[in-house]
Amino acid sequence: MREIPIRGEVIRLGQLLQLAGLADTGGEAKALLAEGGVTVNGEPEARRGRQLRAGDVVAAGGEQLRVVTG
């Protein structure tokens, strides 16, 4: 599991996918979510604007990402 540090308390799911290098653009993030291959804390998620906080776990593109503050 890879830890992704964020500034502040929240980050949107689409931004996290870009920060982690799983999507180069917001459009790519939207397409990845539309395919149904993204989960947040084990639940399927399709909303690019979903707010994530430290401790949330995102699975996408064969990777697991944990949001951490830092």
**pLDDT tens digits, one per residue of 19-56:** 999 999 999 999 999 999 899 999 999 999 999 999 99
What pLDDT score does 17 carry? 97
**pLDDT tens digits, one per residue of 13-23:** 999 999 999 99
H or E segment to which residue 53 belongs: strand 51-53
Structure tokens at 65: 């990402």
Confidence of residue 61 (pLDDT cuts 50, 70, 90): confident
All structural domains of the chain: 2-69 (3.10.290.10)
Is the pLDDT assigned to residue 70 strictly greater than 90?
A: no
What pLDDT score does 56 carry? 98
Question: What pTM was computed for the model?
Answer: 0.93
